[in-house]
Amino acid sequence: MTTDSFEQTRWTLRDLLPARQGPEFDQILADLESAVAQLEAGRERLSPDLSTDDFRRFMALAEQIATLSNRLGYYSGLWLAEDTQNQDALAFQGRMHKLLTELENRTLFFDLWWKDLDDDAAARLLAASGDNVYYLESLRRFKPHTLSEPEEKIINLKDVNGVAALLNVYEMFTNAFLFKVEIDGEVKELTRDELTVYARDPRPEVRAAIYQELYRVYAEQGTVLGQIYQHVVRDWASENLTLRHFDSPISVRNLSNDIPDAAVDVLLQVCRENAPLFQRYFQLKADWLGLDKLRRYDIYAPLSTSDKTYPFGEAANLVLKSLGDFSPQLAAHARQVFAGGHLDSEIRPRKTSGAFCASALPGLTPWVLVNYAGRANDVATLAHELGHAVHGLMASDHTVLTFHSSLPMAETASVFAEMLLLDRLLADESDPAVRREILARSVDDAYATVMRQAYFVLFEREAHDLIEQGQTIDALSSRYMANLEEQFGQAVELSDEFRWEWVSIPHIYRTPFYCYAYSFGQLLVLALYRQYQAEGESFIPRYLKILAYGGSKSPAEILDEAGIDVASAAFWQGGFDVIADMIAELETLA
Ligand SMILES: [Zn+2]
């Protein structure tokens, strides 16, 4: 393994779009218009008897339109991310957005025709669809729960000023909340985002004060917010259970994630059984902080942190080495991001904050943006985003419609890359303080992503039932406290204001049952990592194959082929065993 020198640079977008004006750019627009016009011209030929050759021609046009649209759409987003105040980039994005929306409306008829087609005709055409089968099947997944056209129209029409309006009001109302708290002898008026930064403050009294203020404000409006939730849940039930005949409220989400109900039930049950694991960690954290018992306020309290920093070149080599030790192919893919100038790692004024990876097209090296500042966290972020890029490159044999992995699988390569880095860092690190910091950060992340999110969904399941039975908002709050008591056991002291936490979680309003996708993704990777630890080399080709599927099959099918049963408790338990090992090591460092 060679050690290369890497510098923090800006990226180049030339591979995505050679120019923003002039003949090459005009040609792209002309090609796009021509493909859309050809698709439109074929509209009259659409019928259940459509020949497979004709269908393939339609799909080729659909792919061409998606490819050219992605070039323009991704370019405008990435250009603006470089400098969020750039007036030219803003104007370009506005123009592209308008153009792409118009084109999308012109081609919408094709998707609608496909969704509406009878099953026999669809099966005949699917058999000739090659790599696009899963994409096409996904469009039809909701067909058994689709109502007649006039009924669907009425639902859409009434939703705009019904449940969608209610959600709008919830957001407008809660986004306007201001929180007053005294910090450093000064009374500050803060937004929720500004307030919750202090959940990681080293001072215990500040952490307590911000949580008390947060839920004081939500409790004041608790009846109104709780009533909004009741309406949202009743609307969910009357539409999805009564009219669309889903088996249960959560089945709606499971179908859109394409994960079997049984697998989600097992996942949530295994999370529940592992609550004592994190309780053990919270006890340990209380010891480190010199407390008898951790308060709920202290969950994210910082440990005395080491001030170790990593120069960018060292970080890049660490990430590449950790990937390369696992699979040289993965490291080679990650190197492509550096070599192609597709990594924007500099810190610049007006550059977008945070980090992301944009896999624009199959076969094009993805673009990665990070704001690298040299902390251990930044190295993990670099590994995470390069993991996404590697995933995109591994799936480059698929079409533009199938190479993006579906939501539950989207973090498979990114979190796995973080795990590989974690092992690498620990192998090289003998300072107990640094080891503790690295491991504790991973366990903190696992708590927030796996356990907390699973308990949100466990609450939602109960809440939908209670509301169906006609229970009050107070009954929901009491049930929420019971949910927290189960999650934290004797390890964490809960104060009463947390009974209002549920009315402050936008996800359970906006996208019911969404949160388990976080638990699924993170635990999946930990469970895979467990298999790697147990099997060594023989695991690697199976893992690479999972990545190479991209989004061309359902999560259950992809994992089934890798010998993984997502409805098996033992598989999910494997993920918790990795966390248990980390906690065991932390106990020896205490
Ligand atoms: Zn990610």
DSSP notation for 311-372: -HHHHHHHHHHHHHHH-HHHHHHHHHHHHTT-EE----TTSPPS-EEE--STTSPPEEE---
**The pLDDT value given to residue 303:** 81
Q: How far does residue 377's CA lie from ligand 1's centre (Å)?
A: 14
Ligand 1 centroid, distance to 281 Cα (angstroms): 25
384 Cα to the center of ligand 1, angstroms: 6
Backbone φ and ψ of 578, nearest 5°: -65, -45
282 Cα–ligand 1 center, Å:
26
| pLDDT at residue number 229 | 98
The per-residue pLDDT for range 3-34, each reduced to its tens digit, is 678 999 999 999 999 999 999 999 999 999 99
Distance 388 CA to ligand 1 centre (A): 7
pLDDT grade, residue 197 (50/70/90)?
confident
Q: For position 1, what pLDDT does the model report?
A: 47
pLDDT tens for residues 448-494?
Answer: 999 999 999 999 999 999 999 999 999 999 999 999 999 999 999 99
pLDDT reading at 85 higher than 70: yes
Q: How far is the CA of 446 from the centre of ligand 1 (A)?
A: 14
Mean pLDDT value of segment 349-371: 95
pLDDT exceeds 50 at position 152: yes
Residue 81's identity, in one-letter code, is A
Position 78 pLDDT exceeds 70: yes
How big is the chain by its Cα radius of gyration, in Å?
Answer: 25
Instruction: Kindly give the distance from the C-alpha atom of residue 353 to the centroid of ligand 1, in angstroms, as a whole number.
Output: 15
Rounded to the nearest angstrom, the distance between the alpha carbon of 414 and the centre of ligand 1 is: 6
Ligand 1 mean position, distance from CA 412 (Å):
9
Dist. CA 357 → ligand 1 center (Å): 8
| CA of residue 557 to ligand 1 center, whole Å | 22
pLDDT reading at 126 higher than 70: yes
- Strand-pairing partners, residue 188, are 181
What spacing in Å lies between the alpha carbon of 217 and ligand 1's midpoint? 32
Answering whether pTM is above 0.85, one says yes
Least confident of 39-48, 237-246, 334-343, 435-444: 435-444
pLDDT at 38: 98
Residue 2 has pLDDT above 60, yes or no: no
User: Cα dihedral angle (428, 430, 431, 433), rounded to 10 degrees?
Assistant: 80
Kindly give the distance from the C-alpha atom of residue 521 to the centroid of ligand 1, in angstroms, as a whole number.
10
**Residue environment code for 358-367, b if the CB has 16+ CB neighbours within 10 A, otherwise e:** bbbbbebbbb
Structure tokens at 76: 């405008």
- Asked if residues 244 and 152 have their Cβ atoms less than 8 Å apart, the reply is no
For strand 179-183 and strand 294-295, is the pairing parallel, antiparallel, or unpaired? unpaired
Give the residue carrying structure tokens 């099918």.
557
* C-alpha 417 to ligand 1 mean position (Å): 11
Report CA(70)–ligand 1 centroid distance (Å).
Answer: 20
3-state DSSP call for residue 231? helix
Mean pLDDT on 271-286: 97
In the chain, what's the furthest Cα-to-Cα distance?
76
* Residue 411 Cα to ligand 1 middle (Å): 5
Q: What confidence tier does 193 reach under pLDDT thresholds 50, 70, 90?
A: confident
Q: How far apart are CA 147 and CA 163, in angstroms?
A: 19
Q: What is the mean pLDDT of residues 177-206?
A: 93
pLDDT of 511 > 60? The answer is: yes
Cα-to-chain-centroid distance, residue 581: 25
Q: Is pLDDT above 70 for 168? A: yes
By mean pLDDT, which of 146-155, 255-264, 268-277 is the weakest?
146-155
Question: For 513-526, what is the mean pLDDT?
Answer: 94
CA 44 to ligand 1 center in whole angstroms: 43
pLDDT computed for residue 306 by the predictor: 67
Of residues 112 and 33, the one with the higher pLDDT is 33
Tell me, in angstroms, the distance from the centre of ligand 1 to residue 413's CA.
Answer: 9
Neighbouring residues of the ion ligand 1, judged by CB less than 5 Å = 414
For residue 356, the CA-to-ligand 1 centroid distance in Å is: 7
Distance 187 CA to ligand 1 centre (A): 37
Between CA 278 and CA 281 the distance in angstroms is 5
Q: 365: Cβ–Cβ under 8 A, 6 or more apart, which residues?
A: 15, 336, 337, 340, 342, 389, 393
Distance 410 CA to ligand 1 centre (A): 7
* Distance between CA atoms of residues 141 and 146, nearest Å: 10
Residue 452, φ and ψ in degrees, nearest 5: -60, -45
**For residue 327, pLDDT beyond 60:** yes
pLDDT average, residue stretch 239-251 = 97
Cα of 56 from ligand 1 centre, angstroms: 34
How many A from CA of 355 to the centre of ligand 1? 9
- C-alpha 189 – ligand 1 centre gap (Å): 32
406 CA to centre of ligand 1 in angstroms: 13
Q: Hey, what are 212's tokens? A: 């008390």
Average pLDDT, the chain: 94
Count of other CB atoms within 10 angstroms of residue 340: 16
Task: Please write the tens of the pLDDT for every residue from 30-73.
Answer: 999 999 999 999 999 999 999 999 999 999 999 999 999 999 99
